[in-house]
Amino acid sequence: DIQMTQSPPSLSASVGDRVTITCRTSQTIYRYLNWYQHKPGTAPKLLIFGGSRLRSGVPSRFSGGGSGTAFTLTISSLQPEDLATYSCQQSYTTPWTFGQGTKVEF
Amino acid sequence: QVQLQESGPGLVKSSETLSLSCTVSGGSISSYHWSWIRQPPGKGLEWIGYIFYNGSTNYNPSLKDRVTISVATSRTQFSLRLRSVTAADTAVYYCARTPGSDHVTFFDSWGQGTQVTVSS
């Protein structure tokens, strides 16, 4: 299985901050990397797919980058509604695997 | 917009079978893969497996010997059965639509999740 390592496990930031979350994989996955936002008690939401493709309707302050084994999710200006856990997921090969998540707090 | 809703018992006894259903509304079950995903307490998400509308399946090898995913004849529901459960199967279980092709696949619509606890 492809192992996914996210960092940091949690971070504290302020409204307006630029936030970057990193996801590293145990082998190359080219650009087949997705990002999700998850708030307690709600359905997870797809933010980014294919490494950098912003899902329709997702605010443009979210962006994804990277390729190979290193990827980033960046929130350019953190908003109060962005309090959540963010998880990466590789779709290069089954079993599809997820990172452990990064909890963004204020 | 498609909506998904999980349903099933919240408590299952150890060694028994966990059975969950996912009802799909606002869209067709055809032409997509449909997945089950779970999140044990304090851990990351784990993909369990998927079913294509035509019935073909792909399971996580870590669970393959115990899991069955099926589509109901109504074509508005798909189900998960996990046999011989243990405490390690305690988790929030999600169903999700899985569009895309080749490697560009993702989970674009999710249910809200249902907590399943395995008791001894």
Each residue's pLDDT tens digit, A81-96: 999 999 999 999 999 9
> Would the CB atoms of A43 and B113 count as touching at under 8 Å?
yes
Burial code (b: 16+ CB inside 10 Å, e: under 16) for B9-43 equals: eeebeeeeebbbbbbbeeeebeebbbbbbbbeeee
Task: Establish if B115 touches chain A: CB-CB under 8 angstroms.
Answer: no
Task: Establish if A42 touches chain B: CB-CB under 8 angstroms.
Answer: yes
* B-interface mutation test, from A23, A45, A47, A91, most B Cβ less than 10 A away: A91
Task: Establish if B45 touches chain A: CB-CB under 8 angstroms.
Answer: yes
> Which among B43, B62, B104 has the least Cβ separation from residue A32?
B104
Tokens of B52: 């294509």
Predicted confidence at residue B102, as pLDDT, reads 78
Give CA A105 to chain center in angstroms: 15
Predicted confidence at residue A64, as pLDDT, reads 98
**Contact B98/B111 with Cβ under 8 angstroms?**
no
Confidence of residue B82 (pLDDT cuts 50, 70, 90): very high
What would the mean pLDDT of B23-43 be, rounded to a whole number? 92
Confidence of residue B27 (pLDDT cuts 50, 70, 90): confident
């089950």: which residue's tokens? B36
Confidence of residue B73 (pLDDT cuts 50, 70, 90): confident
Nearby residues of B73 by Cβ (< 8 Å), 6 or more positions away: none
Residue B12 has pLDDT above 80, yes or no: yes
> Would the CB atoms of B100 and A49 count as touching at under 8 Å?
yes
Residue A17 forms beta bridges with which residues?
A: none
The 10s digit of each residue's pLDDT in A4-63 is 999 999 999 999 999 999 999 999 999 999 999 999 889 999 999 999 999 999 999 999
